[in-house]
Amino acid sequence: MSVESSRFDSITREELEQLQLERLQATVNRAYRSVTFYREAFDKAGIIPEDIDSLSKLSTLPFTSRETIIENYPYGMFAVPLREVVRLHCTTGPQGEPIVIGYTRNDIDHWTQISARVLQAAGVEKDDVVQICLDYGLFGEGLGFHYGAELIGASVIPGSDTDPKRQLLIMRDYRSTILLSTPSFALKLIAAVKESGISLASLQLRGGIFTGEPFSETTRLKIEEELKIKVINSYSPPEIPGPKIATECERKNGLHIFEDQFIPEIIDPQTGKVLPPGKEGELVITTIAKEAFPLIRYRTGDLTALDFSTCSCGRNLVRMRNVAERTDNMIIVNGVGFFPTQIGNILAKIEGAEPRFQLIIDREGTQDVMDIMVEVSESIFFDEMRRFHELKKRIEEQIYQILGINVRVKLVEKRSLFQEKSGKIVVDKRLK
């Protein structure tokens, strides 16, 4: 089996949409025929598979959610008999509920192909030594990249989730050139480098491909600077082990979605209506090549936007912006929606304020009220009261100007927050 990346990366939009329609129709027919949930949902909406005669009809189909998958545990969402499923992976829902994903032989081949394409987009070649520090257990994310690296012809070290200090020794002794891990593991690796005294000059590492967690540009730059590598991000919903839905190329200008395997949509998370290209909303994914576990209009809960322009790398595949927020992290106060990270971004730009804060939301009469506990630098906290009140006022004004929310700010000493066991950034007393 060879890597088929060049075939789909350079395909024209017209050719791609024809392929997508053919695969979508096959998926819809399979799901309607074999999955009770889809058959009942289609019948309720008055839809038959033959109605889907263009990609524009995709928006008429019902959504699938995490709750749908959880409610149909273990095999209710499978579209093939269990005898045709060659592998089972298990993950968990938001409250720890079990989710089982099945794969046919063709599904595994597709997973391998996409993993190889992710690696190639990051510049991995057959002479590389790829150290995979990802789960090889029931979730099994490491397996997809393992097979993808072998398909390219690279050497693979199945490091799994071994202790970072041990991984560092392996990295040095085996001359690893590519690290595959979560960004948080890379940060632990940096700490291990400093603790061990191992010189970066003794490592051959040149690149990292991260997955499994969102991370900021600040984190990317820290890892690149500390480990002297180039970091590439890849993406798939956290409850789906594989394959990856999208990956950055070496230009790091958004994540290319594998449109020969997935059709992306961006919807308004409140109304469910499809938004035009460039608008931020919730990412919805339809699988069009999965046999055992097809997902039609799956609501990922991740907020992003799509860019259909051709990347400078030459790929024609649509790109999605890095995911920074989730719809279930949104807070609504007096009808205004915002995310905690927006508060953090505002505080980070105000001199004297620290990015550590806590939101306390309550209701007084018919109105929501929000208090923000903000840590401040010692020079401000112990300085004259005038500067103290000026900082408080400036934070309140900035939040109102940017988010349109009236808040009450209380300044507290540095390192005084999150001493309680819960450690919550948001305490919403309206829910009690």
User: pLDDT of 287-341, one tens digit each?
Assistant: 999 999 999 999 999 999 999 999 999 899 999 999 877 887 778 787 777 878 8
Main-chain dihedrals φ then ψ at residue 422, nearest 5 degrees: -65, -40
| Helix count and strand count (H, E) for the chain | 12, 21
139 and 83 inside one domain: yes
Q: Which are the contacts of 83, defined by CB distance < 8 A and separation ≥ 6?
A: none
pLDDT of residue 419: 44
- Per the CB < 8 A criterion, the answer to whether 282 and 267 are in contact is yes
- Output the average pLDDT for the chain: 90
| 235 and 300 belong to one structural domain | yes
Q: How confident is the model at residue 123 (pLDDT cuts 50, 70, 90)?
A: very high
* This prediction's pTM: 0.81
User: Do residue 250 and residue 374 come from a single domain?
Assistant: no
Residues 167 and 259 in one domain: yes
Indicate whether 112 pLDDT > 90. yes
Residues 105, 155 within the same domain:
yes
Residues 242 and 271 grouped into a single domain: yes
The domain in which residue 163 lies consists of 1-326
Q: Please list, in sequence order, all residues whose beta carbon lies within 8 angstroms of the beta carbon of residue 349, skipping any fewer than 6 positions away.
A: 398
Distance in angstroms (rounded) separating the CA atoms of residues 165 and 54: 53
Average pLDDT over residues 282-286: 97
Same domain, 319 and 360: no
pLDDT of res. 256: 97
The CATH number of the domain holding residue 204 is 3.40.50.12780
Residues 348 and 286 in one domain: no
pLDDT at 422: 46
Where do we find the tokens 């690279």?
154
Residue 420 has pLDDT above 50, yes or no: no
**Tokens coding 37:** 């949930």
H or E element at residue 110: helix 105-121
Instruction: Report residue 345's pLDDT band, with 50, 70 and 90 as the boundaries.
Output: confident
Q: Are residues 321 and 423 in the same domain?
A: no
H helix intervals, 287-339: none
User: 116 and 144 in contact (C-beta within 8 Å)?
Assistant: no
Query: Residue 358 belongs to a domain with what CATH number?
Result: 3.30.300.30
Q: What is the C-alpha to C-alpha distance for residues 116 and 147, in angstroms, rounded to an integer?
A: 8
Among the candidates 326, 361, 394, a domain finishes at 326
Q: Are residues 149 and 8 in the same domain?
A: yes
Closest CA to 129 of 87, 167, 157: 157
3-class state of residue 260 by DSSP: coil
Give the confidence band of 384 by pLDDT, cuts at 50, 70, 90.
Answer: low
Question: Which one of 298, 326, 354 terminates a domain?
Answer: 326
Q: How many domains is the chain partitioned into structurally?
A: 2
Mean of pLDDT values over 36-54:
97
Residues 314 and 349 in one domain: no
What b/e sequence results for 35-60 when a residue is b if at least 16 CB atoms lie within 10 Å of its CB, and e otherwise?
A: bebbeebbeeeebebeebeeeeebee
Q: Tens digits of per-residue pLDDT, 61-81?
A: 999 999 999 999 999 999 999
| Residue carrying the six token digits 């953090």 | 344
**230-235/207-210 β-pairing:** parallel
Q: Are residues 315 and 336 in the same domain?
A: no
Residue 43 pLDDT > 80, yes or no?
Answer: yes
Where a domain ends, among 260, 293, 326? 326
Residue 127 φ then ψ, to 5°: -85, -5
Task: Give the span between the Cα atoms of 357 and 360, in whole angstroms.
Answer: 10
